[in-house]
Amino acid sequence: MSATIHGQYHGKAGPLFSLYFKTAFLTLITLGIYRFWAKTRLRKYIWSATAGNGDSFEYTGTGLEKLLGFLFAIVVLAIYLGIVQMALLYFGLNLFTEPRNEIEALAQVGAIYITLLAVLPLLLFATYRARRYKTARTRWRGLRFGMDNGAWGYVWRALGHGFLSVITLGILLPRQTFWLEKYMTDRTWYGDAKFEQTGRWQSLYPGLKHVLFAVILIVMGIVLGTFLQVPSMILIAVLVGYIWLIVGGVYYRIYAFNVLTRAKMLDGAVTFDSGARTGRVIGIVLTGILAIIGAIIVGLLLMGLILMASLGLSFGGVGAIFGGYADPSDFNAASGVVGSIVIAVLYVALILALGGLSLVMITQRIIAHVVSSVVVANAPHLDHVKQRAADPGADAEGFADALDIGGAI
């Protein structure tokens, strides 16, 4: 094995789009049941397209595991939320009745927020369990990855760090990012070799510079605009600051990923490097959005043309209708039914196509950029790593699926 391993991604837009479209269609006609197998097939494609020096990754999860995990999670969630609602009813708070006055309306709003807060620990639990499942179902060069159980420990830490970040107005966000990533990394394995997250959380602060600039711009614009009584100054400052804030959020995530990746070690010997670039990621997102907008415009035009053709309307017929010397009611009801069916089919096809375009034009290109930026040093040490026992499936990603966490893949 060479001294370094360079990340590679070989996925293509055409095959992935075709796979997404087919699996999304099967999900639609099975009323959502096939989505567990759909996500599994997409992961198998993306994992197999990801490689290090030519050795591809392998995803070994199954759709049945995800379905059974989802059913288990639904039962647990139903019981848990039922208990929460019973507790609210005990205190006179009911989400399902029409409020009769302002006090009851405020109480109902409070009950909604209490319910959301009650679900938050489960969202954090699902986040850890989803990462653990994907890690345990990943192999490289025949060796399994794995992750120790510790979801509830992650939940309490995430709640504590999140609370500190909120009350300090984001000042301690780098602390939250570092310690939560360290908690998960320190419980991750490749074969019998353990990962370790080294470094210091203070090293993430430079990544917040654009967020800080955006906040300063917004605050100064509001203060100066109010003092000088120039509403347009406030509007421009808020608009530019908001856009800058979004860019700053992306910059922070990429910066944190690079810093945390460089501070990771495997078995005390193997190190990592990452050179992902914020500008490249933003460029991918913007060009992807433009491509999707273009697809929407073309799709709507095609839908209109095909609909007119299905109704038996020529351009002359359309002119006759709008010119007032032909009655649209002259077209028989059958044409209307055919047109409705055609437009429904085209609408569904367009929605499915947009999901596929988002996956191949944005998600896959970001994955390709990030993977190709990763370099593994002291790679010969990996030859000494041995196989680890398989981790149990447990609830797979049931809670993540039930709570809709995880996105396209």
Tokens of 167: 């009350």
Q: Which residue has the higher pLDDT, 394 or 254?
A: 254
pLDDT band, very low/low/confident/very high, at 90 (cuts 50, 70, 90): low
What is the rounded CA–CA span in Å between residue 177 and residue 181? 6
In this predicted structure, what is the pLDDT of residue 67? 86
Tell me if residue 15 falls in helix, strand or coil. helix
For range 84-109, the mean pLDDT? 70
The set of residues, in sequence order, having a beta carbon less than 8 Å from that of 34 and lying 6+ positions away, is 23, 26, 27, 63
What is the rounded CA–CA span in Å between residue 339 and residue 399? 41
Q: Tell me the average pLDDT of the chain.
A: 86
pLDDT band, very low/low/confident/very high, at 256 (cuts 50, 70, 90): very high
The set of residues, in sequence order, having a beta carbon less than 8 Å from that of 69 and lying 6+ positions away, is 133, 393, 394, 395, 396, 397, 398, 399, 401
Tokens of 74: 């639904």
Query: Residues 94, 96, 102, CA angle at the centre, nearest 5°?
Result: 60
What is the rounded CA–CA span in Å between residue 175 and residue 215? 20
Token match 């310690």: residue?
Answer: 179
pLDDT digits (tens, 9 = 90+) for 356-378: 999 999 999 999 999 999 999 99
In this predicted structure, what is the pLDDT of residue 396? 65
For range 279-291, the mean pLDDT? 93
In this predicted structure, what is the pLDDT of residue 148? 92
For range 162-177, the mean pLDDT? 94
The yes-or-no verdict on residue 234 having pLDDT over 80 is yes
| Enclosing H/E stretch for 85 | helix 63-90
pLDDT band, very low/low/confident/very high, at 315 (cuts 50, 70, 90): very low
Are the beta carbons of 307 and 339 closer than 8 angstroms? yes
Angstrom CA distances, 385 to 84, 146, 364, stand at 47, 13, 30
In this predicted structure, what is the pLDDT of residue 194? 96
pLDDT band, very low/low/confident/very high, at 311 (cuts 50, 70, 90): low
The yes-or-no verdict on residue 328 having pLDDT over 60 is no
For range 221-230, the mean pLDDT? 87
Tokens of 60: 């070994």
In this predicted structure, what is the pLDDT of residue 188? 96
pLDDT band, very low/low/confident/very high, at 230 (cuts 50, 70, 90): confident
List, in sequence order, every residue forming a beta bridge with 197; answer none if it has no partner: 264
Are the beta carbons of 278 and 255 closer than 8 angstroms? yes
Confidence (pTM): 0.85
- The whole-angstrom distance between residue 244's C-alpha and the CA centroid of its chain comes to 21
Q: Which residue has the higher pLDDT, 65 or 332?
A: 65
Residues in the chain: 409
What is the rounded CA–CA span in Å between residue 174 and residue 163? 13
pLDDT digits (tens, 9 = 90+) for 11-63: 999 999 999 999 999 998 998 899 999 999 999 999 999 999 999 999 999 99
- The whole-angstrom distance between residue 340's C-alpha and the CA centroid of its chain comes to 34
In this predicted structure, what is the pLDDT of residue 321? 47
Are the beta carbons of 41 and 19 closer than 8 angstroms? yes
